């Protein structure tokens, strides 16, 4: 039986933080700011025990210190990001397990957006929290990593079970869908755009998406597809080259 709740907390302009509760105990992934988190915690009478950070960007750690000040909590992030994540207490890596009330948060290194971006895969929740590595219909910009690194990161996420829910750091889905339609105009993307419009006009997040859905529609997931490759190059190119071209096309879109 499901003993947990994953709550989407909109923050700043288009960020999502996630409060995960098991009974009264809670953790928050990427608190962009403290206020909306505090409101949620107080309203639902929860006890905030941990902050988990996917990477060091301000719109993901902005609430760290204020929340730490207010609650008796610990902050966990990539050990390689210990100089960049405010208030970090717990140093994570791919081999160490982070367990929260019997739910195991597996750390997956997903560099590309930053050099030390991590994702959290929680098998018992059928969920992965990707920060700015993977978005619905998109992926993060390459601020500190190479296209090769990012493609490898995407392949790791892609290899998770199809029914895994993806919770990402931003509501960028519509913008990504418009880009997708410009590249590959088909019925599936039109349908998706209609769906997104309906959700967003009712102020409902398009998140979570799933691995299965992204495999079908996320063009960045398809850099290994001959059909997609042929849209970018007449010559034979490898997956990494294709990915690089897709990323570049999106950067210039
Ligand atoms: Zn970021
Ligand atoms: Fe971000």
Cα 132 to middle of ligand 1, angstroms: 5
Cα 168 to middle of ligand 2, angstroms: 9
pLDDT in tens, 25-44: 999 999 999 999 999 999 99
Cα 38 to middle of ligand 1, angstroms: 22
Whether 113 and 55 have beta carbons less than 8 Å apart is answered as yes
Kindly report the backbone phi and psi dihedral angles of residue 251, in degrees, each rounded to the nearest multiple of 5, phi listed first.
-60, -35
Q: 149 is written with which tokens? A: 């690194």
Which domains, and CATH codes, for the chain? 5-251 (3.60.15.10)
Cα 169 to middle of ligand 1, angstroms: 8
Average pLDDT over residues 77-105: 97
Q: What is the DSSP letter of 54?
A: S
Q: What was the pLDDT predicted at 96?
A: 85
pLDDT in tens, 160-185: 999 999 999 999 999 999 999 999 99
Cα 57 to middle of ligand 1, angstroms: 5
Q: What was the pLDDT predicted at 97?
A: 83
Long-range contacts for 123-128 (Cβ within 8 Å, ≥24 apart)? 125/4, 125/6, 125/20, 125/165, 126/161, 126/163, 126/164, 126/165, 127/6, 127/164, 127/165, 127/166, 127/167, 127/208, 128/157, 128/160, 128/164, 128/165, 128/166, 128/167, 128/211
Q: Relative to the alpha carbon of 112, which ligand is closest?
A: 1
Write down the mean pLDDT value for the chain: 97
Q: What was the pLDDT predicted at 1?
A: 80
pLDDT in tens, 212-244: 999 999 999 999 999 999 999 999 999 999 999
């Amino acid at each position: 039986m499901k003993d947990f709740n994953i709550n989407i907390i909109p923050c700043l302009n288009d960020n999502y933080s996630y409060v995960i509760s098991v009974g009264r105990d809670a953790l928050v992934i990427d608190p962009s700011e403290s206020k909306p988190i505090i409101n949620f915690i107080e309203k639902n009478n929860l006890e905030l025990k941990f902050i988990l950070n996917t990477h060091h960007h301000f719109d993901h750690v902005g609430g760290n210190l204020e929340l730490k000040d207010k609650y008796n909590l610990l902050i966990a992030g990539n050990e390689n990001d210990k100089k960049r994540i405010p208030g970090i207490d717990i140093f994570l890596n791919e081999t160490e397990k982070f367990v929260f009330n019997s739910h195991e948060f597996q750390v997956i290194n997903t560099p590309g957006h930053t050099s030390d971006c991590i994702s959290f895969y929680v098998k018992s929740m059928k969920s992965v929290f990707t920060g700015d590595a993977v978005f619905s219909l998109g992926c993060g910009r390459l601020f500190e990593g190479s296209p090769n690194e990012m493609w490898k990161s995407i392949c790791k996420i892609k290899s998770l079970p199809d029914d895994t829910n993806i919770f990402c750091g931003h509501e960028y889905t519509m913008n990504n869908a418009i880009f997708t339609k410009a590249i590959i105009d088909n019925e599936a993307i039109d349908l998706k755009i209609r769906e997104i419009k309906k959700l967003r006009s009712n102020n409902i997040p398009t998140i979570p998406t799933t691995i299965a859905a992204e495999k079908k529609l996320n063009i960045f997931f398809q850099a290994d597809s001959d059909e997609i490759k042929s849209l970018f190059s007449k010559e034979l190119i490898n997956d990494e080259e294709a990915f690089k071209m897709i990323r570049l096309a999106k950067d210039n879109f």
